[in-house]
Every structure is written in structure tokens, then in C-alpha cells.
């Protein structure tokens, strides 16, 4: 089927924040360049509606995706666009992740209104973050730093920074650059130490498994970035095997080497930062998912299972 014979409008489901809309419009631009008509459909999720509780207390699983996935099942949208790091480790059988956009720089960064702000190993400052992983890594590498919950979209967080008790925010570079706040970056964490969350920096496109195959292929061809896709297959296999989500301080970053192999660095850190397990595996692109699975199994066997058990038992108390 030629692109210009596709007359169906692709309805793109997205959350309503400025960053989510940036992502949805980036996908729309690629689909339109492939000759497809698009329409943006804003859908509010539980994670958007409830801002006075942490992601841990919300349960975190699918809090930013569940309502979008209902739209896919009911056929009110053809695709859903997510931050790849927000997609739960296991998605329903009737849905699939069809494409991952080219990844932005993956690092975590610190934002401050004070251009002279410095974060050093012995800094005694309060930082705002909603991420369990970032809090745990800060406790490991910056033991004198304290943190305070900072949820909401980037603009809301910046307003809290202006008014709130903390002196800076810890965020993903990708969201910061996409929203044009990169001039506020005062510190960049090295990605081999402050390893990002699985999927960080990429945009995921999800659809119903029974969507018209030709249309699905057109969407994939227009949006998917092959190198990013293979890396995220490894990271998501790691996440799935760890049975982790936003509320678990696990981390995983896969990259392609100069020889075209997949190199994945992943692990877990205890909530207090005292226990830190990490490992690096490398293999062919064809075994990307197997690498992620094997890495997670190694981390679990080395004591990661005990860290997870302690985290879950603390939260049940």
C-alpha cells in the first residue's frame, strides 16, 4: 500500500503536560512526513491527577500509561505516546510497543536558579526529586544531601523550586532540553555512575496488537530508531526480570559499541544507598533481550533479591 493511499487519521493519545505534548508532536511530525494524517488526543492519567502522593504510594505501575492503554483497547486512539521510562515493565498481551524514537542524551542533571550552585561529594543541600532511584544514588554518592518530594510537570516543579525548601532539582536531561531549560543546568551526573532508569531519554509508541498490519508497519518505519530500539529491548528485559518499575531503585543503560555490539550496565541500589550492585554485560544485537535478562538474573543472585525484599517489606509496614 502506498503512503498516499492511507487516508485514515492516526489519533495519537498523550498526557497533557507540555513535555508529553512535545513528545506527541514529535511523533506526529514523523508520521506526517510519511504521508499520514494525525490528530492529538489528550488523556489525563492517574499520575497526572494525583500530585499530593509519591509514585511509591500510588503503586507506580502504569500510573502514567493505564488510561492511554484503555484508549488503545477501546479504539479511541491508534497509538499512545509515552516517555519510555514510564512504560511498565510488562505490558498487556493485546498491546505492543511498536517503536522507540531516537534517544536523547540520557544523563540526569541538576537544575538551579542559582548559576553558582555547586554539587560536591560533601555538599549539605536539599534537592527536589520524585525518583526513588535518584534519591538512593544521591544517598550513596552524596551522603550529606537531603531530598524532598517534587512531583508534577517540569513547570510545576520549577515553581516549587522557586517557592520550596529545596535549592535545586534533579531531572533527566532529555526533558530539560526539550522544554528549553538547559540554561539552568548546573551539574551533569556521569551516566556510568548515576546510571539512568531503563528507557530514559527515549519516546515509546504503543499500539493495539491487532491494529492493521500495514498501518502498524508504516508507523514503525516512520518513527522507530533501530539503534535505540535494540538498546531498549535489552534494558526492558532487565527491568522485566527485576520486576521493577518507577518505585524500585534499579537502573539500566544499554549502548552500542564501536563494533556494533550491545553493552548494558545495570543494577540496583538500596534505599539508603549503602548496598549497590551493578554489572556490565556485552553481546551481539541479536541477543539484546537475553543480555538484559541475564544481567538481571546475575544482580538478583548476588543479593539484589534481598534488596528488593527489604524494600517491599518496608513499604508494607
Among the listed residues 15, 30, 103, 134, the single catalytic one is 134
In this predicted structure, what is the pLDDT of residue 156? 87
User: Which candidate in 135, 207, 216, 246 is catalytic?
Assistant: 246
Is 85 catalytic? The answer is yes
- Residue 288 to residues 3, 224, 231, 241, Cα–Cα distance (Å): 32, 17, 7, 14
- Please tell me the predicted confidence (pLDDT) of residue 44: 81
Asked if 2 and 215 count as a contact pair (C-beta separation under 8 A), the reply is no
Cβ proximity of 86 and 18 under 8 Å: no
Which of the following is catalytic: 135, 151, 160, 240?
151
Among the listed residues 15, 30, 103, 133, the single catalytic one is 133
- Written as tens digits, the pLDDT of the chain (317 aa) is 344 444 479 999 999 999 999 999 999 999 999 999 999 999 986 545 444 444 444 344 455 688 899 999 999 999 999 999 989 888 999 999 999 999 999 999 999 999 999 999 999 999 999 899 999 999 999 999 999 888 678 888 898 898 878 899 999 999 999 999 999 999 999 999 999 999 999 999 999 999 999 999 999 999 999 999 999 999 999 999 998 666 789 999 999 999 999 999 999 999 999 999 999 999 999 999 999 999 999 999 999 999 999 988 876 65
**What pLDDT score was predicted for residue 153?**
82
Q: CA-to-CA distance for 313 and 174, rounded, in angstroms?
A: 33
CB-count exposure of residue 50 (10 Å: 0-12, 13-18, 19+): middle
List the beta strands (DSSP E) in the chain: 9-14, 37-42, 79-83, 95-100, 108-111, 126-128, 146-148, 168-172, 185-188, 203-208, 250-256, 262-269, 276-283
Whether residue 133 lies in the annotated active site: yes
Three-state DSSP class for 311? helix
**For the chain, the helix, strand and coil percentages under 3-state DSSP, each to the nearest 5:** 40, 20, 35
Going by the DSSP 8-state scheme, the letter that residue 252 receives in this structure is E
- For 231, the grid coordinates are 538498546
Query: Which grid coordinates belong to 84?
Result: 519510555
- Is 157 annotated as catalytic? yes
- Rounded CA separation 80/72 (Å): 7
- pLDDT of 148 reads 87
Among the listed residues 15, 85, 135, 240, the single catalytic one is 85
Quick check: 130 and 149 in contact, CB under 8 A? Answer: yes
Helix H or strand E encompassing 240: helix 226-242
Q: What are phi and psi of 169, to 5 degrees?
A: -115, 145
pTM (2 decimals)? 0.90
- Region at 281 (left for phi over 0; alpha for psi -120 to 50; beta for the rest): beta
Q: Among the options 30, 86, 103, 294, which is catalytic?
A: 86
Say which of 135, 157, 160, 294 is annotated catalytic.
157
Amino acid at each position: 500500500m502506498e503512503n498516499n493511499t492511507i487516508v485514515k487519521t492516526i489519533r495519537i493519545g498523550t498526557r497533557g503536560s507540555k513535555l508529553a505534548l512535545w513528545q506527541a508532536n514529535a511523533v506526529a511530525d514523523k508520521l506526517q512526513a510519511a504521508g499520514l494524517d494525525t490528530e492529538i488526543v489528550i488523556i489525563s492519567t492517574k499520575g497526572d491527577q494525583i500530585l499530593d502522593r509519591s509514585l511509591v504510594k500510588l503503586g507506580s505501575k502504569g500510573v502514567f500509561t493505564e488510561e492511554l492503554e484503555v484508549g488503545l483497547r477501546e479504539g479511541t486512539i491508534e497509538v499512545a505516546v509515552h516517555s519510555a521510562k514510564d512504560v511498565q515493565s510488562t505490558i498487556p498481551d493485546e498491546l505492543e510497543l511498536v517503536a522507540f524514537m531516537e534517544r536523547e542524551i540520557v544523563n540526569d542533571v541538576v537544575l538551579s536558579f542559582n548559576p553558582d550552585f555547586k554539587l560536591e561529594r560533601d555538599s549539605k543541600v536539599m534537592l527536589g526529586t520524585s525518583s526513588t532511584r535518584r534519591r538512593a544514588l544521591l544517598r550513596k554518592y552524596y551522603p550529606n544531601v537531603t531530598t524532598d518530594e517534587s512531583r508534577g510537570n517540569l513547570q510545576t516543579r520549577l515553581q516549587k523550586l522557586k517557592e520550596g525548601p529545596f535549592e535545586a532539582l534533579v531531572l533527566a536531561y532529555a526533558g530539560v532540553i526539550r522544554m528549553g531549560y538547559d540554561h539552568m543546568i548546573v551539574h551533569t551526573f556521569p551516566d556510568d555512575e548515576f546510571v539512568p532508569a531503563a528507557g530514559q531519554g527515549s519516546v515509546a509508541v504503543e499500539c493495539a496488537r491487532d491494529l492493521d498490519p500495514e498501518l502498524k508497519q508504516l508507523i514503525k518505519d516512520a518513527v522507530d530508531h533501530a539503534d535505540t530500539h535494540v538498546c531498549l529491548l535489552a534494558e526492558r528485559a532487565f527491568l522485566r526480570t527485576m520486576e521493577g518499575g518507577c518505585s524500585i531503585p534499579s537502573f539500566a543503560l544499554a549502548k552500542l559499541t564501536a563494533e556494533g555490539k550491545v553493552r548494558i550496565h545495570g543494577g540496583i541500589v538500596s534505599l539508603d544507598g549503602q548496598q549497590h550492585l551493578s554489572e556490565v554485560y556485552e553481546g551481539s544485537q541479536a541477543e539484546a533481550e537475553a543480555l538484559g535478562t541475564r544481567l538481571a538474573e546475575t544482580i538478583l543472585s548476588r543479593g539484589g533479591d534481598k534488596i528488593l525484599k527489604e524494600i517491599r517489606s518496608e513499604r508494607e509496614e
